Amino acid sequence: MWMKILLVALSLVVLSSSIHVTSSSHSSSNVSDNAQASALFVFGDSLVDNGNNNFLSSIAKSNYYPYGIDSPRGVATGKFSNGDTFVDYLGAWLGLPAPPPFADPTTTGARILGGVNYASAAAGILDETGQHYGQRYSLSQQVMNFETTVRQLRPMIPNLSRYLSKSIAVLVFGSNDYINNYLLPTLYPSRFFYNSTQFATLLLNHYERQLLALYAVGLRKFVLPGVGPLGCIPNQLATASPPPLPGRCVDSVNQMLGDFNRGLVSLVDTMNNGSLPGSMFVYGNTYSALGDILNNPARYGFAVVDRGCCGIGRQITCLPWTPPCANRNEYVFWDAFHPTQGVDAFLAQRAYAGPPSDCHPINVQQLALINFA
């Protein structure tokens, strides 16, 4: 079974080349007649940012070599990856090209018909998260940006409500609220005001309000990946005090994420209890899926799990114009924070077609098949 998954993921790496090329010239003709959704709207942080921060006054950018080294053209587009990201692969499964970044001035007219990407590096659920990096689109700002898109779509699409109900929204949030807020007590006071359970509740309350706002505007299908095992990313391994034992993650960090992920499952169940007619919310178990790769790297074709392929391995993002490792297909992490495109291919496959342990209560493929009248 694992060999079958590996072959599927590798095939997606090849498929990503068409995603990357079409993303720079997106138009209505790029949306296949066989697409399983009318559009893909992406909200989130650097895990799915495809260039929005290139247009913002921020130090959280990836618009330089070696980012994008494994993309078809070998150039950096603003994705924090050696190639494509989770939503690129997920979009490919759905038959949709990668949506263009909202902040790009050319993201107008026919380019927005297949969806838009609002994700922004350093962004969080809380407005203040990541502010030490400069400008970024927080969750609340991304929701407002989506409302701008809806106003642009209204004169272009006769039955806008139907179009939105058949679209899929992916929201990837939470990681920065920990690593660029709660776990930085010298910069943010949240650690002094909230214990980990209270902080998770704070995040989920904010998250719920913005999800309700998106529902009110017309979105009906939501994919909400949980936070992965941040205690295992190279940055946390390098900065933890005391450092973890060799081969171990920072258990204290991973334990505090449990409150958020369990709460997100409960929030999904609450949203699906019938109070929001004609909608479906899906929880993606990123923690378990990525944890499986970290615990069994050889099963997935990886060998290096404790440092990034570029940068200073366990500290920062890629150093500009500095060559990365030569055997990057063997690395789980591209830099100190982000996975390689090979990992993202696996995660997208599990989100799209995985069992209930990967996606709750249904997977993305099943979500796409739902027809809200």
Closest CA to 157 of 117, 115, 119: 115
Which two tokens mark 109?
Answer: 């007219």
Q: Return d(Cα 233, Cα 2) in angstroms, integer.
A: 24
The answer to whether the Cα torsion of 317, 340, 221, 267 is positive or negative is negative
Report the pLDDT value the prediction gives residue 372, as an integer from 0 to 100.
Answer: 86
Whether residue 183 contacts residue 194, with contact meaning beta carbons closer than 8 Å, is answered with no
- Strands, E assignment, 230-343: 280-284, 304-308, 331-333
Dihedral class, residue 274 (left if φ above 0, else alpha if ψ from -120 to 50, else beta) = left
Q: What is the pLDDT of residues 169-200, one digit of tens each?
A: 999 999 999 999 999 999 999 999 999 999 99
Report the pLDDT value the prediction gives residue 273, as an integer from 0 to 100.
Answer: 96
Active site residues: 46, 335, 338
Which two tokens mark 161?
Answer: 């409500």
Return the amino acid letter for 305.
V
Q: What is the pLDDT of residues 30-47, one digit of tens each?
A: 666 789 999 999 999 999
User: 212: part of which helix (H) or strand (E)?
Assistant: helix 196-217
For the entire predicted model, the pTM comes to 0.91
Dihedral class, residue 221 (left if φ above 0, else alpha if ψ from -120 to 50, else beta) = beta
Report the pLDDT value the prediction gives residue 311, as an integer from 0 to 100.
Answer: 74
For tokens 């010298």, what's the residue? 186
Q: Return d(Cα 111, Cα 34) in angstroms, integer.
A: 18
Closest CA to 117 of 198, 24, 196, 206: 24
All residue ranges of the chain with pLDDT < 50 are 1-29
Whether residue 341 contacts residue 370, with contact meaning beta carbons closer than 8 Å, is answered with no
Report the pLDDT value the prediction gives residue 94, as an integer from 0 to 100.
Answer: 98
**R_g of the chain, CA atoms, integer Å:** 19
Report the pLDDT value the prediction gives residue 30, as an integer from 0 to 100.
Answer: 61
